[in-house]
C-alpha cells in the first residue's frame, strides 16, 4: 500500500485527531501522531480537542503562501505549513458536521466521527497517556509520561509541557521538502510559526529579512532604521521570544531573572509592544496556558472573576508592561511572577528600580537583551533623565566585573586608563553643561505620577484581546517571485546556501546548556528616524569602544547613535541596517548613497515613507484650518474612508479643535499628556474599534509607534514645530502601515509655517533642478464644499468660544467667591451682580444666547447634505474671508496683517498684496 494511503487509513482508524493530507503523498502519519496526536484523545476530550485543533490550523490558506516567504527571505527559517492538516471545525458532541474533506472527495466532509474507523487495539501509543486531571483540564504529557503528582513543581511541569508545545507543530519530512528554501540556520519555533500564521505574518518584511538572521544566528547587536509601519517591533521581539523559548527548552539556568528589557517612550506603545511580543508565543488554548503556568487550580479555587492578565499577557514567555499612569500595585504584583521580558517607560521603571523593593527589576545578571525602541526620541536631551540612571544600573555589574579583571593589568596601564577616563568624563560633563536646555517636550514625555485603576474589560479592550485573526495576504509580486524561486531551487542548493552562511550570521558566541553567559547580551536600537553613520564609519563602529568615539556636539546625529550604544553598554559587533532613506536599501558594508545632490551641489538626505502613503497639502490661513480639516474628513474620498488622526502642536489646540469637530457632528476623541491614562487608552481603543468613523485629535504623544492598521488618514492641523521632519515622518506613519495598506497624510500650511513646510518637502521629495523643494499633491477639495464647510465651521467655532468663555468665567467666579468666603469677607451687591454676569451689561447672557442661536443654526445645517446648501465657488482671499465672516456673524474678528488672507493672496514686505499660486 502506498505510504500516503496507509497513513490515511491510519488516520481514519486513529480518531485522535482526524485529518486529511492535502498536499502530497509523503505525509507521515506516525510522525504526525508523535508530534500532535498524542496531545488529544478524541474519545476523552471529544469536541474540545478538535475545536482546539481547528483553532491551531485556522489560517491554512495564509500558511501555504506565507511559510515559503519566511523560509526564502530569511534564508532558512523553517515554518509550519498548517495547510497540511485539516481538522474538524465543530465537535461531534455538538452535533455539528465536521468540515474535514474525505480523502476521496475533498469537497464532501464526513458526516460524523463515526465515519472514521477507530481502532483501539494494539498500536495506540496514547493508551498510557492520561490527558485529563481530576478537574477535567487537559494535561499535555509525553507518550508514556506519568501524570505529575500534585507535589511536582511547576518548573518540571512547565518544562515538559513546553517542550511538547514547541514540538507539536513539527513539520513532517514532506513539509520540509515542500519548503525547499528551509535550511539549517534559523529555525522558527513551531508555536511561533503558528502564531505568525494566525497574525497574518506570511513573510518577513524588508527590515525583518535584513536584520533577523544577524540577530538570531550571529547574535549581533542591531541598529535598525526603516520606515514607519515596516515591522520593526518584530525585528527585536522575535529575537527576545526565541531566546526565552530556547532557554525554557534547554533548561538554561536563569535564576528567574529578567532576560529582556525593552524601553519605549510612551505608555501606549509599551502596552502595545507587550501585547505584540506575547502574541508571538501565545498558546492557542487558555487552559493549556494556565496549566503551563501552574495557576489554573489556584484560580478555580478562588472562584473570583478572572484576574486581569493584562500588563502581562498570554504567551508562554511572560511579558510584563511597567508604565506610569496605571496602578503601581498591579504592576508590582506582576513582577512577582518574574516575567522574562519587561517592556517599560523609563519614568515608572526608574521609580520602581530606585525603590529597591523589586528584586526582579534590580537584578540584571540574567539580562540578555536590551532594546531601545524609538531610540532617537528616547535619548533626546531632557526627555528621559531616568534613562541614563537605568543604563548605569544595568551596566554596573558588568563594569565591576571588568574592573576586577583590569586589576590584573600593570599599575602603569591602570593609571593611564584612569587618566583617560577621568579626562573623558570631564569632557562629557562639560558637554552637558554647554548644551542649552532644549525645550522639554512635556507633551510627549511621560509623567508617571498619576495612577488609575482600569477594569479588566477596559484594558483588555485596549489591548485588543481576542481579535479577529488578521487576514493580511502576501502581496502578489512577492508570492510570484517566491513561486518562481521555489521552482528553480533544488534541495542541493539549499544545503549549499545554508552551509555558506554569511559571516554576519556566524554566532559571535554560543549557547551553553544550563548556563547563562552574561557576555551574550544583545542590544537592539530601532527607529524610523535614526541618522546613521556613513558606511566607512559603520564598519569601524564598535559599541562600548570609548576610545573611538569623537566628542559629542549638539545636533550631531551620528554621535548621538554612538552615545546610545555606549550608554546601553553595547559590546559586540554591531550590524547597522538603514532602510529609512532613499537609496539606503542595504546594510552596513555596502550601503549606497542615501543622499541626493542638490542644484547647489549640497548633499541632502531624503527620507523614505511607507509605500502606500499619499501626501497632500493645502495652504490656508490659521482661521480656515477648522473648515479645511472638516471638509477633508467629511467630503473627500481619502479623508472619509476610515478612522483619522488630526495632529495639533498644543494641548489647548487639541481641546479646541476636538470640540469644534464635535460640534460639527463628528465622532471625536482627544489624546494628550494632560489626560488621565484611562481616557488615553480609551481614545485609542475607540479609534481601533470604531465602527462608525472616529477622529482622534492628538498631540505628538500619539505620533510614534502606535499601530492601528485601520487608520486611513492623518491631518497635520499644525505643522510639527520641534523636530520638524522626524515628527512629520512619525505622525504620517500612523497610516499606511504593514503590508499592502494605503493611507493619506494632509499638511495644512498656515502663513507662518512656510519654512517648516519647505524643510519637510526637501526631506521627503528632495529638490528640483532649480534647487526648490518639490511639493506634495494638492488636497482634493471641492471648492463648493469648502464654502459650505466654512459656514458650518464658523458656527461651531462660535459655539466653542462662547462655551469656553462661560467656563472660564464660571471657574474664576467660583474661585473668587470661595476665596472671599475663606477670608470671611462679604461681597457687596455690585460685585455679586458682576460675578453672576449681570453687572457687565449682561454680556454673559448675551454670549449664552449667541451660542444657542449658533447651535440651532448649525443643527439645521448639519441635517442637510453639504452640497445642496451653498452654490457658488468658495471665495478665497480677503473676499472669501469677508464672506465667511458675514455668514458666521463676525465671530472670527477682523483682518490682521498677513493673517486672514487666503490661499491666493499674501502681503509682501511693503504690506501690499502679492499673488501666489494656489495648490
Ligand atoms: N512579517 C509581517 N507580515 C505582515 N505584517 C507584519 C509583519 N511584521 C509586522 N507586521 C505588521 O505590520 C504593522 C507595523 O508593524 P510595527 O508596528 O512593528 O511597525 P514599526 O516599523 O515598528 O512602525 P513605527 O516606526 O511606526 O513604530 C503591524 O500591524 C504588524 O502587525
Q: Could you report the predicted ipTM of this complex, rounded to two decimals?
A: 0.99
Beta strands 913-915; 905-907: pairing state: antiparallel
- Averaging pLDDT over each range in 381-385, 540-544, 844-848, which range is the top one? 381-385
| DSSP calls for 123-183 | --TTTT---B-TT--B----TTPPPPPTTS-HHHHHHHHHHHHHHTTPPPHHHHHHSTT--
Residue bearing the bigger pLDDT, 395 or 772: 395
Is the distance from CB of 671 to CB of 684 less than 8 angstroms? yes
Backbone angles phi, psi at 107, to 5 degrees: -85, -20
DSSP assigned state of 317: S
Q: Which residues, listed in sequence order, are joined to residue 341 by a DSSP beta bridge?
A: 260, 319
pLDDT in tens, 27-84: 344 543 444 333 333 333 333 433 443 443 333 333 334 444 454 455 444 433 333 3
Report the nearest-CA residue for atom 26 of ligand 1.
228
More confident residue, 366 or 782: 366
Predicted local distance difference test score (pLDDT) of residue 370: 95
- Check pLDDT > 70 for residue 359: yes
Q: Identify the residue whose C-alpha is closest to ligand 1 atom 28.
A: 738
Question: How many whole angstroms from 714 Cα to the centroid of ligand 1?
Answer: 18
Give the pLDDT band (50/70/90) at residue 881. very low
Q: Smallest Cα–Cα separation from 201: which of 477, 469, 577, 484?
A: 469
Assign 546 to helix, strand or coil.
helix
Q: Ligand 1 center to residue 643 CA distance, Å?
A: 18
List Cα–Cα distances, 528 to 232, 414, 745, in angstroms. Answer: 9, 41, 17
Q: How confident is the model at residue 399 (pLDDT cuts 50, 70, 90)?
A: low
What pLDDT shows up at residue 281? 84
The alpha carbon of 664 and the centre of ligand 1 are apart by a number of angstroms equal to 34
Please give the share of the chain, as a percent, with pLDDT higher than 70: 46
Residue predicted with more confidence, 722 or 157: 722
Average pLDDT estimate for 426-434: 30
CA of 212 to the centre of ligand 1 (A): 14
Q: In this predicted structure, what is the pLDDT of residue 348?
A: 93
Write the pLDDT tens digit of every residue in 592-630: 333 444 444 445 567 888 989 999 999 999 889 999 999
- Find the range with the poorest average confidence among 232-246, 322-336, 452-466, 836-850: 452-466
Centroid of ligand 1 to alpha carbon of 235 (angstroms): 9
The pick from 231, 235, 471, 525 for probing ligand 1's pocket by mutation, whose C-beta has the most ligand atoms within 8 angstroms, reads 231
Hey, which of 530-544, 662-676, 678-692 has the most confident mean pLDDT?
662-676
**The pLDDT of residue 842:** 58
Q: Using the predicted structure, report yes or no on whether residue 150 has a pLDDT greater than 70.
A: no
Q: What band does 215 get if pLDDT is binned at 50, 70 and 90?
A: confident
Pick from 180-189, 471-480, 629-638, 764-773 the range whose average pLDDT is largest. Answer: 629-638
**Using CA positions, which residue lies closest to atom 9 of ligand 1?**
231
Q: Is the pLDDT of residue 899 over 50?
A: no
Which mutation among 738, 741, 742, 743 tests ligand 1's pocket best, with the greatest number of atoms within 8 A of CB? 738
Task: Tell which residue, 654, 558, 681, has the closest CA to residue 311.
Answer: 681
Looking at residue 490, the DSSP 8-state letter turns out to be -
Query: Which pLDDT band holds residue 780 (cuts at 50, 70, 90)?
Result: confident
- Report CA(230)–ligand 1 centroid distance (Å): 5
464 alpha carbon – ligand 1 mean position (Å) = 16
pLDDT at residue 273 greater than cutoff 90: yes
Residue closest via CA to ligand 1's atom 11 equals 738
Integer Cα distance of 59 and 599 in angstroms? 52
Name the residue with the closest Cα to ligand 1, atom 16: 231
Residues 6+ apart with CB under 8 A from 260: 240, 243, 244, 340, 341, 342, 367, 368, 369, 370, 371
C-alpha cell at 63: 500558511
Closest Cα to residue 671, out of 688, 646, 693? 646
Distance set, CA 336 to CA 252, 331, 367, 597 (Å): 20, 9, 17, 56
Q: Rounded to an integer, what distance in angstroms lies between the CA atom of residue 477 and that of residue 34?
A: 37
* C-alpha–C-alpha distance, residues 906 and 897, integer Å: 9
Among the residue ranges 26-35, 524-533, 790-799, the one predicted with the least confidence is 26-35
| pLDDT at site 286 | 61
Give all strands (DSSP E) within 356-431, no chain letters: 369-373
Which is more confidently placed, 595 or 581?
581
Per-residue model confidence as pLDDT tens digits over 217-229: 888 899 999 999 9
Residue to probe by mutation, ligand 1, list 69, 225, 229, most atoms within 8 Å of CB: 229
Q: Whose CA is nearest to atom 20 of ligand 1?
A: 229
How does residue 796 score in pLDDT terms, banded at 50, 70 and 90?
very high
Which atom of ligand 1 is nearest the CA belonging to 470?
Answer: 31
Query: Cα of 481 to ligand 1 centre, how many Å?
Result: 22
Cα distance between residue 782 and residue 627, in whole Å? 12
Residue with more model confidence, 367 or 457: 367
Ligand 1 mutation target, pool 198, 376, 707, 728, most atoms within 8 A of CB: 707
208 CA closest ligand 1 atom index: 1
Q: What's the CA-to-centroid distance between 738 and ligand 1, angstroms? A: 5
Q: Which atom of ligand 1 is nearest to the CA of 202?
A: 3
Q: How far is CA 508 from the centre of its chain?
A: 29
Q: Please report the pLDDT score of residue 343 as a whole number.
A: 96
Residue 95 has pLDDT above 50, yes or no: no
Q: What is the pLDDT of residue 834?
A: 62
Q: Which of 127-141, 144-158, 701-715, 872-886 has the lowest mean pLDDT?
A: 127-141
> If you ran DSSP here, which 8-state letter would residue 841 be given?
T
Tell whether the model's pLDDT for residue 171 goes beyond 50: no
Q: Which atom of ligand 1 is nearest to the CA of 705?
A: 27
Ligand 1 centre distance from Cα of residue 587 (Å): 20
- Of 146-155, 346-355, 796-805, which gets the smallest average pLDDT? 146-155
Pocket-testing residue among 209, 525, 737, 745, ligand 1, by greatest number of atoms within 8 A of Cβ: 737
Angle at 118 (CA atoms; ends 114, 121), nearest 5 degrees = 155
Q: How far is the CA of 3 from the centre of ligand 1 (A)?
A: 42
Distance 233 CA to ligand 1 centre (A): 6
Q: What whole-number percentage of the chain has pLDDT above 90?
A: 22
The secondary structure of residue 50, as a DSSP letter, is: H
* Closest C-alpha to ligand 1, atom 29: 738
Q: Which atom of ligand 1 is nearest to the CA of 204?
A: 1
> Which residue intervals of 373-455 are DSSP H helices?
375-378, 385-406, 411-434
**DSSP-derived 3-state class of residue 750:** coil
Tell me, rounded to whole angstroms, the distance of Cα 672 from its chain centroid. 18
Instruction: Return the top range by mean pLDDT from 241-250, 463-472, 607-616, 780-789.
Output: 607-616
Contact status, residue 639 vs residue 632, Cβ threshold 8 Å:
yes
Q: What is the CA radius of gyration of the chain?
A: 31
Q: Mean pLDDT of all residues in the chain?
A: 64
Mean pLDDT, rounded, for 263-288:
86
Atom of ligand 1 nearest to the CA of 70: 1
From ligand 1's centre to the CA of 205, what distance in Å?
8
Residue 386's Cβ-side half-sphere holds a number of Cα atoms within 13 Å equal to: 18
List the residue whose alpha carbon is closest to atom 4 of ligand 1: 201
- Residue 873 vs residues 159, 629, 782, 849: alpha-carbon distances, Å: 72, 18, 9, 31
Q: What pLDDT does residue 727 have?
A: 93
Lowest mean pLDDT: which of 275-279, 378-382, 395-399, 501-505?
A: 501-505
Nearest CA to ligand 1 atom 27: 705
Q: What atom of ligand 1 comes closest to residue 199's alpha carbon?
A: 31
Q: 170 is written with which cell numbers? A: 513539527
Measure 739 CA to ligand 1 centroid, in angstroms: 8
More confidently predicted of 903 and 612: 612
Q: Which residues, at least 6 apart from 468, have a Cβ–Cβ distance to it below 8 Å?
A: none
Is the pLDDT reported for residue 190 higher than 50? yes
- What confidence tier does 202 reach under pLDDT thresholds 50, 70, 90? confident
pLDDT of 910 reads 55
Per DSSP, 591 falls in state P
Instruction: Using the mean position of ligand 1's atoms as its centre, give its distance from the Cα of residue 280 in Å.
Output: 13
pLDDT at 88: 26
Cα–ligand 1 centroid distance for 46 (angstroms)? 38
The residue whose CA has the least distance to atom 8 of ligand 1 is 231
Q: What distance lies between CA 21 and its chain's CA centroid? A: 37
> Measured in angstroms, how far is the CA atom of residue 501 from the centroid of ligand 1?
27
3-state helix/strand/coil string of 269-314: HHHHHHHHHHHHCECCCHHHHHHHHCCHHHHHHHCCCCCCCCCECC
Atom of ligand 1 nearest to the CA of 230: 21
Give CA–CA dist 68/179, Å, rounded: 6
User: d(Cα 455, Cα 460) in Å, to the nearest integer?
Assistant: 8
More confident residue, 241 or 502: 241
pLDDT value, residue 616: 92
Q: Could you tell me the CA-to-CA distances from 899 to 420, 631, 660, 907 in Å, in that order?
A: 57, 21, 20, 9
- Asked whether residue 284 carries a pLDDT value surpassing 70, the answer given is no
pLDDT at 652: 94
Question: Which residues, judged by CB distance below 6 Å to any ligand atom, belong to the binding site of ligand 1?
Answer: 200-202, 204-205, 208, 226, 228-234, 472, 528, 705, 707, 709, 733, 737-739
CA angle at residue 261 from 256 to 262, to 5 degrees? 150
Amino acid at each position: 500500500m502506498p505510504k500516503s494511503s496507509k497513513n490515511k487509513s491510519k488516520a481514519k482508524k486513529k480518531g485522535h485527531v482526524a485529518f486529511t493530507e492535502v498536499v502530497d503523498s509523503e505525509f507521515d502519519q506516525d510522525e504526525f501522531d508523535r508530534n500532535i496526536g498524542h496531545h488529544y484523545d478524541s474519545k476523552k476530550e471529544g469536541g474540545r480537542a478538535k475545536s482546539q485543533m481547528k483553532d491551531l490550523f485556522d489560517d491554512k490558506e495564509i500558511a501555504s503562501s506565507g511559510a515559503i516567504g519566511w523560509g526564502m527571505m530569511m534564508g532558512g527559517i523553517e515554518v509550519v505549513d498548517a495547510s497540511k492538516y485539516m481538522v474538524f471545525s465543530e465537535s461531534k458532541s455538538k452535533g455539528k458536521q465536521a468540515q474535514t474533506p474525505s480523502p476521496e472527495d475533498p469537497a464532501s466532509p464526513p458526516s460524523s466521527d463515526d465515519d472514521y474507523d477507530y481502532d483501539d487495539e494494539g498500536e495506540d501509543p496514547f493508551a498510557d497517556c492520561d490527558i485529563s486531571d481530576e478537574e477535567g483540564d487537559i494535561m499535555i504529557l509525553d507518550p508514556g509520561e506519568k501524570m505529575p503528582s500534585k507535589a511536582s513543581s511547576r518548573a518540571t511541569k512547565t518544562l515538559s509541557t513546553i517542550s511538547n508545545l514547541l514540538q507539536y507543530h513539527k513539520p513532517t519530512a514532506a513539509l520540509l521538502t515542500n519548503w525547499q528554501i528551509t535550511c539549517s540556520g534559523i529555525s522558527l519555533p513551531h508555536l511561533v510559526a503558528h502564531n505568525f500564521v494566525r497574525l497574518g505574518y506570511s513573510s518577513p518584511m524588508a527590515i525583518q529579512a535584513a536584520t533577523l538572521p544577524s540577530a538570531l544566528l550571529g547574535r549581533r547587536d542591531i541598529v535598525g532604521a526603516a520606515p514607519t509601519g515596516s515591522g520593526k517591533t518584530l525585528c527585536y521581539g522575535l529575537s527576545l521570544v526565541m531566546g526565552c523559548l530556547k532557554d525554557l527548552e534547554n533548561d538554561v539556568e536563569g535564576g528567574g531573572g529578567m532576560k529582556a528589557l525593552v524601553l519605549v517612550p510612551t505608555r501606549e506603545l509599551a502596552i502595545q509592544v507587550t501585547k505584540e511580543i506575547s502574541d508571538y508565543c501565545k498558546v492557542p488554548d487558555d487552559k493549556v496556558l494556565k496549566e503551563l503556568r501552574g495557576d489554573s487550580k489556584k484560580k478555580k479555587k478562588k472562584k473570583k472573576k478572572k484576574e486581569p492578565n493584562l500588563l502581562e499577557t498570554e504567551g508562554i514567555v511572560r511579558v510584563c508592561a511597567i508604565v506610569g499612569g496605571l496602578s503601581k500595585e498591579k504592576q508590582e504584583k506582576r513582577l512577582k511572577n518574574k516575567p522574562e521580558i519587561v517592556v517599560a517607560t523609563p519614568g515608572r521603571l526608574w521609580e520602581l528600580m530606585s525603590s529597591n523593593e523589586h528584586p526582579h527589576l534590580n537584578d540584571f545578571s540574567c539580562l540578555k537583551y536590551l532594546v531601545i525602541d524609538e531610540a532617537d526620541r528616547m535619548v533626546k536631551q531632557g526627555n528621559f533623565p531616568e534613562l541614563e540612571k537605568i543604563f548605569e544600573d544595568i551596566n554596573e555589574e558588568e563594569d565591576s566585573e571588568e574592573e576586577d579583571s583590569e586589576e590584573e593589568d600593570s599599575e602603569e596601564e591602570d593609571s593611564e586608563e584612569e587618566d583617560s577616563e577621568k579626562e573623558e568624563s570631564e569632557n562629557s560633563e562639560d558637554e552637558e553643561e554647554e548644551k542649552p536646555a532644549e525645550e522639554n517636550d512635556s507633551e510627549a514625555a511621560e509623567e508617571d505620577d498619576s495612577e488609575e485603576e482600569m477594569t479588566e474589560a477596559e484594558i483588555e479592550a485596549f489591548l485588543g484581546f481576542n481579535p479577529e485573526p488578521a487576514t493580511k495576504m502576501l502581496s502578489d509580486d512577492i508570492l510570484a517571485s517566491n513561486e518562481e524561486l521555489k521552482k528553480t531551487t533544488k534541495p542541493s542548493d539549499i544545503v549549499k546556501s545554508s552551509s555558506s552562511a554569511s559571516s554576519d550570521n556566524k554566532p559571535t558566541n554560543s549557547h551553553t546548556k544550563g548556563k547563562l553567559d552574561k557576555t551574550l547580551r544583545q542590544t537592539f536600537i530601532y527607529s524610523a528616524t535614526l541618522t546613521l553613520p556613513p558606511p566607512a564609519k559603520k564598519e569601524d563602529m564598535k559599541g562600548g569602544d570609548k576610545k573611538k568615539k569623537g566628542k559629542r556636539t549638539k545636533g550631531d546625529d551620528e554621535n548621538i547613535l554612538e552615545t546610545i550604544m555606549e550608554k546601553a553598554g553595547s559590546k559586540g559587533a554591531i550590524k547597522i541596517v538603514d532602510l529609512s532613506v532613499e537609496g539606503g536599501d542595504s546594510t552596513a558594508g555596502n550601503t549606497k548613497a542615501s543622499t541626493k545632490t542638490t542644484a547647489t551641489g549640497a548633499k541632502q538626505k531624503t527620507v523614505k515613507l511607507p509605500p502606500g502613503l499619499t501626501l497632500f497639502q493645502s495652504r490656508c490661513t490659521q482661521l480656515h484650518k477648522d473648515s479645511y480639516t472638516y471638509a477633508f474628513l467629511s467630503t473627500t474620498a481619502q479623508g472619509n474612508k476610515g478612522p483619522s488622526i488630526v495632529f495639533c502642536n498644543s494641548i489647548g489646540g487639541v481641546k479646541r479643535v476636538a470640540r469644534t469637530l464635535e460640534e460639527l457632528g463628528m465622532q471625536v476623541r482627544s489624546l494628550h499628556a494632560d489626560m488621565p491614562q484611562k481616557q488615553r487608552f480609551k481614545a485609542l481603543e475607540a479609534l481601533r474599534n470604531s465602527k462608525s468613523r472616529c477622529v482622534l485629535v492628538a498631540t505628538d504623544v500619539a505620533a510614534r509607534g502606535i499601530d492601528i492598521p485601520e487608520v486611513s488618514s492623518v491631518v497635520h492641523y499644525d505643522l510639527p514645530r520641534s523636530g520638524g521632519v522626524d515628527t512629520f515622518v512619525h505622525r504620517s506613519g500612523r497610516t499606511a502601515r504593514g503590508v499592502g495598506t494605503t493611507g493619506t497624510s494632509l499638511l495644512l500650511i498656515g502663513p507662518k509655517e512656510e519654512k517648516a513646510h519647505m524643510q519637510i518637502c526637501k526631506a521627503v521629495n528632495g529638490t528640483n533642478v532649480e534647487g526648490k523643494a518639490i511639493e506634495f499633491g494638492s488636497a482634493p477639495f471641492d471648492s463648493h464644499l469648502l464654502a459650505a464647510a466654512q459656514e458650518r465651521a464658523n458656527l461651531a467655532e462660535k459655539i466653542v468660544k462662547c462655551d469656553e468663555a462661560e467656563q472660564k468665567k464660571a471657574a474664576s467666579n467660583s474661585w473668587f467667591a470661595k476665596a472671599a468666603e475663606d477670608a470671611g469677607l462679604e461681597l457687596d451687591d455690585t460685585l455679586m451682580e458682576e460675578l453672576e454676569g449681570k453687572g457687565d451689561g449682561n454680556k454673559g447672557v448675551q454670549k449664552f444666547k449667541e451660542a444657542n442661536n449658533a447651535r440651532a443654526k448649525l443643527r439645521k445645517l448639519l441635517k442637510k447634505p453639504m452640497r445642496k446648501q451653498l452654490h457658488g465657488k468658495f471665495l478665497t482671499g480677503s473676499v472669501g474671508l469677508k464672506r465667511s465672516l458675514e455668514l458666521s456673524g463676525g465671530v472670527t474678528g477682523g483682518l490682521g496683517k498677513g493673517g486672514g488672507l487666503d490661499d491666493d493672496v499674501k502681503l509682501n514686505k511693503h504690506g501690499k498684496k502679492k499673488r501666489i499660486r494656489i495648490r
